[in-house]
């Protein structure tokens, strides 16, 4: 299909100093939980993005010295020449597909707890290390430290060049970089030429950029990544004050400005709290104060929006981390006029969460993410089917939809049946809850793709029973019938049913999503700790209820720390007037009250509530699977060779896990699968081993 000419502007080359980006698509640096620990997985993940058309493919943070040791995080590292080979592997993978490789060099200052290196952390002034909330302090750097820091950065620049990078990114964003920390009055209490006036506070960053330009500026592009606003008002950098002044001071120094907002939880806001393009009004001034090209992120997935940004002179390149994770082929699809094929990021931050849990990142939309090398899964290619026979997928939630799509792409004839009148399962239900509308993209991408395939037939409003499944004539059957929220309160806190959960005033999120609307005072009991308790509370407030949220944890939705949402969620609930009771467990429910007790003291109190919504854990909806699995003879007689549960029916988890399970089912259908179904990279032992 030919590309619409209005998108042509996105495919113009952009000069970044001495190197040229082939188009305007810039994969901004992003963590991925692989880095130096799973280096080949990291390299292949980046290479696939280059293949997908990104002109610049950046690393995650590369820490440059043992005094910036971010252990246990698994970022990249460039402390010595021994760190070069795995980064060279990434550069090779990126170059193989004609993109430029960019290295983001970082010293984490006070954030680096140096748990492995045991160096004393470094900072502009004395300061407690916030990373682990334990009694460790960073010390104020003296002049010799500053000289050393400049040398470490320069050494890392030279090593990055040796590794094959085309671009160096000098970093002062997210409040994660030492040079950036020097700029902030709340951190910098120095009286020398590196403290006091703005010019002094910016001096170190300027020196880092100048050192880099001088060393490699004739052969490598030098990018400056800078957060123009910290979203903390006068306590921090503001775009219309020092943010602008800093850019004015350094305006022509870099070859490209990569601008955003700090900290990471502001830069990577979820779709629950921010729409596409939410950073635009913070960064729109930048092009007025520099002649150098500008790149910015904002979870851009819509090509028209991208064109508008360029045509209005807001940016020269479209930055993307999450959209490039959800669809590494986003640029290629625009280039080839295949807009409908874009797998749009839903802004859920599962990718971020897995990195924060120090595990290879997962993506709700892209099940191949982090599986590129270890399983050989390509986001756009899949092997032709290895076995014959029709596939029946029962249930069209995220697991069933993805299984049907991926198996269809392998060339299977597929029938996808769902009891509901609408496809999408939990995604359809949950996307109607406050703030989760973008999650429907998980359904919409897949239903559109399936609608284009002649070999996948969809049956809505088709509740199947065991006999019907046996009569279908399918050789392969995937049961993707999902899960239901428990009513009895069983969860992390309670391993016995809570008293009173058999009453009529006990509801679950499934009831609320099905349209049940309680009246009066409602208690939401959240022992799930992810999003559901808080979105149900929001929904109930919108329905006119007085809501009390009780959780055994010390904070609401504590797991959402990982997805960078916790603070916003608790703030929103408080703003909505939700009464929040933390560190309390639910003991008993009666018709008009609920007894809750402190998890520390055991002291109980009675809350006057007319209903309780139980958000604790889920049970698989697997009766159909269990019934048929119990009679293998019947399956055999019906000609069914493959019979598997997938998704929430197999093990209730995230939507990302359901999509992955559906994809895995299709990939493995008819294939030999080893007990360890992926390649592993095992650290090479050091030569020589002596006891001290």
Nearest distance, CB of residue 646 and ligand ADP, angstroms? 7
Nearer to ligand ADP, 30 or 618 (CB): 618
| Closer to ligand ADP by Cβ: residue 293 or 395 | 395
Selected binder of ligand ADP within 367, 400, 489, 500 (CB under 6 A): 400
- 399 binds ligand ADP, rule: CB under 6 A: yes
Active site residue 562: no
Q: Is 425 in the site for ligand ADP (CB under 6 A)?
A: yes
> Residue 228 in 3-state DSSP?
strand
**The entry of ligand SF4, ligand ADP, none that residue 399 binds, CB within 5 to 8 Å by partner kind:** ligand ADP
How far apart are the C-alpha atoms of 179 and 109, rounded to whole Å?
A: 8
Contact yes or no for 526/615 (Cβ under 8 A): yes
Among 26, 171, 194, 445, the active-site one is 171
Binding residues for ligand ADP, rule CB under 6 A, total 26
| From ligand ADP, ligand SF4, none, interface partner of 464 (C-beta below 5 to 8 A by class) | ligand ADP
The partner in contact with residue 348, picked from ligand ADP, ligand SF4, none with C-beta cut-offs of 5 to 8 angstroms by kind, is: ligand SF4
CB 85 → ligand ADP: shortest distance, Å? 41
Per-position b or e across 550-567, b if 16+ CB within 10 A of its CB: bbbbebbbbebbbbbbbe
Q: Closest distance between ligand ADP and the C-beta of residue 425, in Å?
A: 2
Q: Does 53 bind ligand ADP (CB under 6 A)?
A: no
**Residue 398 binds ligand ADP (CB under 6 A):** yes
From 27-35, 305-313, 474-482, 676-684, give the range in contact with ligand ADP by CB under 6 A. Answer: 474-482
User: Rounded to a whole number, what is the distance in angstroms from the first to the last CA of the chain?
Assistant: 67
Which of ligand SF4, ligand ADP, none sits in contact with 433, Cβ below 5 to 8 A by type? none
Shortest separation between residue 419's beta carbon and ligand ADP, angstroms: 4
Alpha carbons 257 and 625: distance in angstroms, whole number: 55
Rank residues 213 and 332 by Cβ distance to ligand SF4 and give the closer one.
Answer: 332
Among 155, 284, 372, 621, binds ligand ADP (CB under 6 A): 621
How many CB atoms lie under 10 A from the CB of residue 121?
24
Q: Is 174 a catalytic residue?
A: yes
Q: Which is nearer to ligand ADP, 510 or 641 (CB)?
A: 510
Residue 595 corresponds to which tokens in the numbers above?
């007894």
Write out the DSSP string of 574-599: HHTT-EEE-SEEEEEE-SS-EEEEET
In the list ligand SF4, ligand ADP, none, the entry touching 426 (Cβ below 5 to 8 angstroms by class) is ligand ADP
622 assigned to active site: no
Q: Judged by CB under 6 A, does residue 481 bind ligand ADP?
A: yes
Q: Which of 63, 83, 267, 622 is catalytic?
A: 267
- In the complex with ligand ADP, the residue whose CB is nearer, 482 or 491, is 482
Judged on CB neighbours under 10 Å (0-12, 13-18, 19+), 371 is buried
Continuous H helices in 10-65: 39-51
Instruction: List residues binding ligand SF4 (CB under 6 A).
Output: 322, 325-326, 345-351, 363-365
Q: Which of 26, 30, 31, 529 is catalytic?
A: 31
> Of these partners, ligand SF4, ligand ADP, none, which one is at the site of residue 394 (CB under 5 to 8 Å by kind)?
ligand ADP
Residues 377 to 396: which contact ligand ADP by CB under 6 A?
394-396
Output the CA–CA distances (angstroms, integers) from residue 642 to 475, 646, 665, 670, in the order listed.
Answer: 7, 12, 10, 8
> Which residue has tokens 């990291």?
42
Give the separation between CA 49 and CA 159, rounded to whole angstroms. 23
If DSSP states are collapsed to H, E and C, what string results for 369-423?
A: CCCCCCCCCCCCCCCCCCCCCCEEEECCCHHHHHHHHHHHHCCCCEEEECCCCCC
Closest to 32 (Cα-Cα) out of 330, 372, 278: 372
- Rounded CA-CA distance 512/430 in Å is 10
426 binds ligand ADP (CB under 6 A): yes
Per CB under 6 A, does 440 bind ligand ADP?
Answer: no
Query: Is 63 assigned a catalytic role?
Result: no
Active-site choice (107, 174, 265, 529): 174
In the complex, minimum distance from the CB of residue 259 to ligand ADP, in angstroms, rounded to a whole number: 38
- Tokens representing residue 219 in the block: 């052969």
By the rule CB under 6 A, 397 interacts with ligand ADP: yes
Q: Which does 482 bind (CB under 5 to 8 A by kind): ligand SF4, ligand ADP, none?
A: ligand ADP
DSSP-based helix, strand, coil % in the chain, nearest 5: 35, 20, 45
- Token pair for 559: 């797991």
Q: Is there a contact between 374 and 368 (Cβ–Cβ < 8 Å)?
A: no
Output the smallest distance, CB 580 to ligand ADP, in A: 29
Q: Taking CB within 5 to 8 Å according to partner kind, which of ligand SF4, ligand ADP, none is near residue 243? A: none
| Separation CA 98–CA 53 (nearest Å) | 9
Query: What DSSP state is assigned to residue 499?
Result: B
Q: How far from 565 is each of 261, 271, 352, 531, 541, CA to CA, in Å?
A: 16, 10, 11, 9, 20
- Contact pick of 215, 648, 665, 669 for ligand ADP (by CB under 6 A): 648
Sheet holding 122-123, edge to edge: 122-123, 137-140, 127-128
Complex with ligand ADP: residue 250 or 416, whichever CB lies closer: 416
Is 647 a binding residue for ligand ADP by CB under 6 A? The answer is yes
Q: Which residues bind ligand ADP (CB under 6 A)?
A: 394-400, 417-420, 425-426, 462-464, 480-483, 621, 624, 647-649, 658
What residues act catalytically?
31, 171, 174, 267
């Amino acid at each position: 299909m030919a590309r619409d000419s209005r998108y042509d502007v996105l495919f113009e080359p952009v000069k970044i100093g001495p190197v040229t980006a082939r188009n305007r698509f810039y994969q901004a640096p992003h963590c991925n939980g692989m880095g130096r620990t799973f280096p080949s997985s990291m390299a292949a993940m980046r290479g696939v993005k280059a293949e997908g058309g990104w002109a610049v493919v950046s690393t995650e943070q590369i820490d440059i010295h043992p005094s910036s040791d971010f252990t246990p995080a698994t970022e990249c590292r460039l402390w010595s020449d021994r760190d070069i080979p795995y980064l060279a592997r990434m550069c090779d993978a990126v170059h193989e597909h004609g993109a430029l490789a960019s290295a983001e060099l970082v010293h984490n200052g006070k954030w680096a707890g140096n748990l492995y290196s045991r160096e004393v952390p470094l900072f502009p002034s004395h300061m407690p290390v916030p990373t682990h909330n334990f009694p460790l302090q960073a010390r104020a750097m003296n002049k010799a430290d500053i000289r050393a820091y400049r040398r470490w950065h320069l050494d890392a620049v030279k090593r990055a060049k040796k590794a094959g990078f085309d671009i160096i990114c000098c970093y002062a964003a997210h409040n994660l970089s030492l040079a950036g920390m020097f700029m902030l009055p709340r951190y910098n209490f120095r009286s020398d030429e590196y403290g006091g006036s703005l010019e002094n506070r910016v001096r170190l960053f300027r020196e880092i950029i100048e050192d880099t330009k001088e060393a490699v500026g004739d052969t490598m592009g030098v990018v400056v990544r800078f957060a123009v606003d910290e979203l903390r008002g006068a306590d921090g950098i503001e775009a219309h004050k020092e943010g602008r002044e800093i850019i004015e001071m350094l305006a022509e120094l870099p070859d490209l400005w990569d601008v955003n907002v700090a900290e990471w939880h502001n830069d990577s806001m979820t779709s629950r709290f921010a729409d596409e393009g939410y950073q635009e009004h913070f960064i729109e001034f930048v092009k007025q104060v520099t002649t150098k090209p500008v790149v910015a992120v904002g979870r851009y997935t819509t090509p028209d929006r991208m064109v508008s940004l360029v045509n209005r002179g807001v940016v020269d390149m479209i930055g993307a981390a999450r959209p490039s994770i959800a669809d590494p082929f986003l640029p290629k699809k625009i280039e080839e006029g295949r807009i409908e094929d874009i797998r749009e990021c839903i802004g859920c931050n599962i990718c971020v969460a897995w990195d924060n849990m120090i595990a290879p990142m997962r993506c709700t939309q892209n099940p191949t993410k982090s599986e590129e090398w270890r399983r050989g899964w390509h986001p756009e290619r899949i092997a032709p089917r290895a076995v014959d026979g029709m596939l029946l997928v029962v249930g069209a939630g995220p697991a069933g939809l993805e299984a049907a799509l991926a198996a269809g792409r392998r060339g299977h004839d597929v029938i996808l049946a769902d009891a509901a009148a609408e496809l999408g399962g939990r995604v359809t239900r949950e996307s109607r809850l406050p703030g989760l509308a973008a999650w429907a993209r998980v359904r919409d991408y897949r239903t559109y793709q399936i609608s284009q395939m002649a070999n996948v037939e969809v049956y809505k409003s088709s509740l199947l029973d065991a006999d019907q499944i046996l009569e279908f004539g399918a050789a392969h059957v995937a049961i993707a019938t999902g899960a239901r929220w428990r009513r009895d309160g069983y969860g992390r806190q309670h391993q016995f049913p809570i008293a009173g959960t058999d009453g009529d005033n006990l509801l679950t999120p499934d009831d609320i999503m099905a349209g049940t609307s309680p009246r009066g005072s409602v208690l939401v009991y959240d022992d799930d700790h992810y999003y559901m308790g808080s979105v149900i509370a929001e929904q109930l407030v919108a329905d006119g209820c007085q809501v009390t949220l009780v959780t055994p944890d010390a904070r609401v939705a504590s797991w959402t720390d990982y997805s960078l949402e916790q603070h916003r969620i608790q703030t929103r609930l408080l703003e909505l007037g939700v009464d929040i009771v933390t560190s309390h467990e639910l003991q008993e429910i009666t018709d008009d009250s609920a007894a809750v007790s402190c998890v520390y003291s055991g002291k109980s109190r009675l809350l006057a509530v007319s209903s309780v919504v139980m958000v604790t854990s889920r049970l698989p909806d697997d009766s159909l699977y269990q019934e048929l699995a119990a009679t293998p003879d019947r399956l055999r007689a019906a000609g069914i060779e493959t019979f598997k549960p997938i998704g929430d029916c197999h093990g209730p988890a995230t939507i990302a896990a359901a999509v992955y399970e559906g994809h895995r089912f299709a990939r493995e259908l008819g294939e030999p699968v080893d007990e360890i179904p992926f390649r592993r990279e095992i650290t090479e032992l050091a030569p020589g081993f002596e006891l001290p």
